[in-house]
Structure 1
């Protein structure tokens, strides 16, 4: 946080630019022999790092997964490990704490580690997992800034392992239906996107309201959905951002924790996105995409329950499957079979969102338009 604040304080009063770091792609198509030998039914054996509420959700999702199985635990709380061991029949040799989990290097039972810890811990933990030779699945936001995200991508490339980000919406059926309608031109020329992301946060002592652990407030936790959604719904990358912050409770939302930020993004074609990120309002979670021939609106647009909405052609009514179950099955395909998802979920995709978040924080600080170049 301190480095981010120092960086922001040095920003000039005029429009400033944030460079998107160049990272060469190390992915390659499967050869004919590799394609033939790929195992479409191979199960991804996962250790969960961080046994909190979302870790619990992912574990439950894997109970119904065809291609992913919970086989290991990493936690700093021994009582949680004991309870999970019993519930999921995890052997002692697959259980670790935050000090000794580097030993997974010598454990052939584990293919990947899903990092579900506070944001500020992601970089170090993901890099250690990569150095142990295991694939990394990291919950969003992947880091607390773009510099850290870039380090994670480079470390996983160097180790020759996959880095995937927990973008569950990239596999959700109604979301993919809208994206495909946009791709086939059914909405015409896209002109506008609106993303409203937020809820009233509770317990003021939780880690999400601790700037040292979270790296920010609502933007990191929930606003990132509107950033990411704007990108996959429009099919473009933003070239500038502007942003404004409102803070009504400086005690609960201390320095470094944003309460409410409205932000705008401009895209190369002229599309404008108008978005809201907040920890002090409910009844949001809405996406709206408008084109010259039609529209799509979704509410809820990113929640855990069924995604609901409609387009100019009728209701969105694809069947609902627990998002994390679909995500884990699809990630097994990415890791083992070289499957390319409709919407990327790799580390470079996560890095793009972190570049935009950095730019939004800079726009709040300077009051100026920040260019993304």
Structure 2
């Protein structure tokens, strides 16, 4: 029998803390022993043992593929480095962004959908040889057609994790001032503000005439988590719910977050938003949403270390450790419908585990196990030797 024991750990369960040991057999949690110590086994030296962190939305792959707008690197290298970065941040399940769009006003134009599918192909290939569980977070443009063929293709991917509506009608959601958008586009494209405004109005008219949400709902509802990104108004949330969404991803206003919870939807906010004390775009503060108990899950968005860093900060500021840890483990697992297997340290669940030491501003990861197998080790020296 393949057995491992992590002993002398501060174990965070869904409902409380246990100081003791976790016994792993054949890749699953076999037992949790309170106040126990096993000499010769993996000694955690009293540090925190939590479930492997689950990230349901990250754009991180873009940083490795294009660290500068004009500097591209091979997907194999980018994926490998993303994999290592995730492990070093305590993540064991990662849903990376794949953009699906045919928006002719955006860079790449009608090639965006095909390039997105090309990246999806790479996810299928690279996920098989990576250390972390990698899945796709589909960022789905709701305003292009035809969509049916692409929907059918996405259904064939084994690494499809979730699909999230990303509406791209100017003046809606996150960026609502057409005047500000026109000024920025005029500067970037060498146009007059009047010309940029005319193009924006043409785009609004064209995009508003298309809504492919129904095709996504009909294909994936009840099979894959469907979400909606940057909902700003109650109407946005109602439309998402009608289109099969069970997740409100980073609502930009308190009214949208409240409406999502009223409708029984999950709410996910960005960990960097909490860690930095607010949204970098001036949207809804994660701290404010948490104060009304509106947040079910955090995601890394664009910064892996903020996941553990936020937990360290929450606990330091008095939040119950189980509540804090659940936001990056069990909460995301529930959003995806994977809570029977992942997301908590409970007997019978998969042994995805993260051991870390809380530091002043971050969580120092020491060991990460996936399926009970150690994937990265940065163990601190034995305190008795220091």
Q: TM-score, normalised by structure 2?
A: 0.30
Task: Write 1 or 2 for the structure with the bigger share of strand.
Answer: 2
Which of the two has higher C-alpha Rg? 2
Structure with greater contact order relative to length (CA < 8 Å, sep ≥ 6)? 1
Query: TM-score under structure 1 normalisation?
Result: 0.31
